[in-house]
Amino acid sequence: MIDPGDETERLLELVRSEGVTVQALLLTHGHVDHVMRAQEVKEALRVPLYAHRADLELIQAAPQQAAFFGLEPGPVPVVDGELKEGEDFRAGSLVFQVLHAPGHSPGGIVLVCGNSAFVGDTIFAGSVGRTDLPGGDARQLAQSIRSRIYRLADETVLYPGHGPATTVGEEKSSNPFVRALDF
């Protein structure tokens, strides 16, 4: 399961109703909306939680992030293992290539599995992740998008943390925010 930040009961009910066996929780980055309820899901499913080490401070600060945004904090997620650049993460028959993609956060990652990529808040359909939060960096974000995401095949489907899916080809040809990051 990727980024179980909220709607714990709905996620757990979906796992039960679909008969899915979750083997791990993976965090694309450490912002509160992606990690806020991860510990609750972890405990309910009794699975390990993985993230990039550059976002461990953000993850530890989840209660402060929640307070800043006026959200009710959940328990601080305990990270059990690291997702590292260039390493594959295996969960059952699925193999995810881990790409470090800083910019939205220092430890942002992209998880590539076949012709799908789970991009967190690095890029959205027609937009990009914000860089005004702690650890954000517009230059790094632009570099990450170009060197990590835009090097994937054009038909690769991008699944962002918010909003609809898109493709690498669509974003290369029409995303005005990536072009605006050219400075």
CATH number of the domain to which 46 belongs = 3.60.15.10
Q: What is the pLDDT of residues 152-173, one digit of tens each?
A: 999 999 999 999 999 999 999 9
Question: Which residues contact residue 54 at a Cβ distance below 8 angstroms, ignoring those fewer than 6 apart?
Answer: 100, 102, 105, 106, 107
Q: What is the pLDDT of residues 7-17, one digit of tens each?
A: 999 999 999 99
Whether 127 maps to a domain, the answer reads yes
Separation CA 91–CA 2 (nearest Å): 12
Q: What is the pLDDT of residues 58-99, one digit of tens each?
A: 999 988 888 888 888 889 999 999 999 999 999 989 999 999
Whether 25 maps to a domain, the answer reads yes
Domain that holds residue 140: 8-180
Whether 86 maps to a domain, the answer reads yes
* Residue where the block lists tokens 């808040």: 121
Quote the pLDDT of residue 103.
97
Whether 3 maps to a domain, the answer reads no
Q: How many domains does the chain have?
A: 1
Whether 1 maps to a domain, the answer reads no
Whether 162 maps to a domain, the answer reads yes
pTM here is: 0.94
